C-alpha cells in the first residue's frame, strides 16, 4: 500500500507526480504523499470501476469534481457529493459509478495498526493553521504565501504553518499513533 516516503512533506501539486496504475490495473492514481502509516493519492475514475482492496487499511474518498460519485460499498449504494468524504474499510468490496463521466477523487489510506485516522473537511475564508499531518486543497482560492494552490495539492506542516483563502475548501488528515 505505501511505497514512498519523504523526509519532510512540503507542497506537492498533482502536476508534480506522474500517474501510475491502480493495484488492479483498472484506473490511474498519483501518489502525492506517503508515510509508513498513511498515503494520500489523487485518483481518476471513469464509468463503473471496482476499487483495489487494501487489507488492514481505513480509507476516505473525497470527490473533487462537481458531479460527485456513487460508491457501492459491500452492496450498498452511497452517493458522495463534491468535497464530501466517505470512509470505508480497505477490505470492503467497493464499486464506483460516475454515470459515464470522468472525475478526480482524493483518496486517504491509513494502516489500521497505526492507531487510526482522523480527517476533517473545512471551508474557510482567511487563514487556517496547518496543524495536521497533511492538508489537501479541495477547491476555492487557497494560497501558501503568494502561491496559488490548485485542487489536489498536498501541504505538510514542514512547508508552511498556515494557508490563506478568499474562500477555500481543504481536507485535514491526522493519523493517531499508538
For 27-50, how does the pLDDT look when each residue is reduced to its tens digit (9 = 90+)? 899 999 988 889 999 999 999 999
Nearest to 45 by CA among 10, 11, 80, 5: 80
Q: Is the pLDDT of residue 5 over 70?
A: no
Q: Which residues pair with 122 in a beta bridge?
A: 170
Average pLDDT, whole number, for the chain? 89
pLDDT at 116: 79
Query: Please, what are the domains in the chain?
Result: 17-113 (2.60.120.10), 114-175 (2.60.120.10)
The four Cα atoms 83, 88, 91, 94 give a dihedral, to 10 degrees, of: -50
Residue with cell 468535497: 83
User: pTM of the prediction?
Assistant: 0.90
Amino acid at each position: 500500500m505505501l511505497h514512498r516516503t519523504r523526509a519532510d512533506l512540503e507542497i506537492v501539486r498533482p502536476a508534480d507526480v506522474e500517474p501510475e496504475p491502480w493495484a488492479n490495473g483498472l484506473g490511474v492514481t498519483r501518489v502525492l504523499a506517503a508515510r509508513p502509516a498513511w498515503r494520500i493519492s489523487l485518483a481518476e475514475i471513469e464509468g463503473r470501476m471496482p476499487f483495489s482492496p487494501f487489507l488492514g487499511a481505513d480509507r476516505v474518498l473525497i470527490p473533487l469534481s462537481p458531479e460527485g460519485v456513487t460508491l457501492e460499498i459491500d452492496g450498498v449504494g452511497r452517493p458522495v457529493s463534491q468535497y464530501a468524504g466517505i470512509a470505508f474499510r480497505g477490505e470492503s468490496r467497493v464499486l464506483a459509478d460516475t454515470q459515464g463521466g470522468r472525475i478526480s477523487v482524493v483518496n486517504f489510506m491509513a494502516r489500521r495498526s497505526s492507531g487510526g485516522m482522523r480527517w476533517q473537511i473545512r471551508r474557510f475564508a482567511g487563514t487556517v493553521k496547518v496543524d495536521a499531518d497533511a492538508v489537501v486543497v479541495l477547491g476555492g482560492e487557497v494560497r501558501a504565501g503568494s502561491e496559488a494552490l490548485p485542487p489536489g495539492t498536498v501541504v505538510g506542516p514542514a512547508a508552511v504553518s498556515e494557508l490563506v483563502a478568499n474562500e477555500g475548501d481543504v481536507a485535514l488528515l491526522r493519523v493517531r499513533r499508538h
